[in-house]
Amino acid sequence: MDQLCAVVDDAVRRTKYRYKKMFKRIQLFKQSAQEGVDNFIFPIPDCDTIERLEVSVRMFPNIRKQYVEHLRRVKEQTKEVVKAFPVLFSDTALEMYNYMGTGRKERRAMRDYHIFHDCMLEAWSEDGVNELVLAESINIVIKRADGRKRAKLFNFRRRIFQNVGTIFSSLAAIIRVISDERLLSKQLADPLEYEQSLRRPPHSAPVTIGGITFPIADEATVEKLEAVVRSDWSARQAYVGLLRSQMPRRTDAHRIYDIVSNRIFSYKALQNYYLTADRQPYFKQENRKAMVNYEIFQGCMLEAWADMGVDSAGLKNALRAVVMVISRKLRKSIGTNRRY
């Protein structure tokens, strides 16, 4: 308990000292503003006012006398040149100055100004401040002013980056909402195409055979592939190789539906095809086409997958499943479009 009381007392004492020092500084600023130089308010706010003060001090002896007297009054309160500068000049006013006028940025030499050199030496002469001490003090003042400027700029940039981060987070949230809305609208517009796009392997490079790109998207391209396979032996072998590459293991034989309806053809390309011509598809009563009459659905697939244990009966069952699932999904798709 005693330790806690000691900590509290120390904190109170430090706070009182800080506020007392701040109050003295405020009083000094007020006094400096009231007892300054004619037509000038201290601390000097900008570079133009410094130049105007310098011209006035050089041209008018009474202004010079007032300025030196003002420096002496400030000296009585601050004692040191370094502590007197914040009362006399703001950091913004000193941005274009340093003692020698050198550096990476073009600056004006304060040693050539009466208000920084001659008048201050006159005001602090009784305290033993010579030109060397004055130069060191001014260098410290400029260094601290530059440090405060960098800190202010750093804090400003940090706030900007924080705000930019908040803006980007908000934009990302908006983009996610828009993306979700587009995805939902796409799913509602064509559920079957949406489901099929999810089943396709990501980042798969398109395969082209005889000018035909896979997966085939429409019925006309299916007919073109059939004609190319029947007329060009090399194209047939390439197509068989493509089918074989989609089933690298015997255990993948059950995936014929996925291979046929997603990786080789799209559902739109197969919606007018049926396994045999004796049964009509659900939607198309005319121009139905039997898969058993197509080399791309029979001979090529049997040749490609014979080593995987796929025979004629197994292939027919798989193609029948393809047709049934596509018909079911087409019915569902039309029902969804009517509903929405």
48 — pLDDT class (breaks 50, 70, 90): very high
Whether residue 258 has pLDDT greater than 60: yes
Q: Cis omega (within 30 of 0) on the bond before 201?
A: no
For residue 53, give the 3-state DSSP assignment: helix
Q: Over range 12-28, report the average pLDDT.
A: 62
Q: Are 121 and 130 in contact (CB under 8 A)?
A: yes
Single-letter amino acid, residue 267: Y
Q: Are 259 and 246 in contact (CB under 8 A)?
A: yes
CB under 8 Å to 115, separation ≥6 — which residues? Answer: 50, 53, 54, 57, 67
CA distance 52 to 54: 5
- Percent of the chain surpassing pLDDT 90: 21
Pairing of strands 207-209, 212-214: antiparallel
The tally of CA atoms less than 13 A away on the side-chain side of residue 211 is 6
pLDDT at 39: 81
Whether residue 285 has pLDDT greater than 50: no
Whether residue 184 has pLDDT greater than 70: no
pTM for the complete prediction? 0.43
Whether residue 282 has pLDDT greater than 50: no
25 — pLDDT class (breaks 50, 70, 90): low
Single-letter amino acid, residue 78: T
Residue with tokens 């995987």: 308
pLDDT at 89: 92
114 — pLDDT class (breaks 50, 70, 90): very high
Whether residue 31 has pLDDT greater than 70: no
Other C-beta atoms closer than 10 Å to the C-beta of 240 total 19
Q: Note the pLDDT tens digit of each residue in 206-220.
A: 778 878 888 888 888
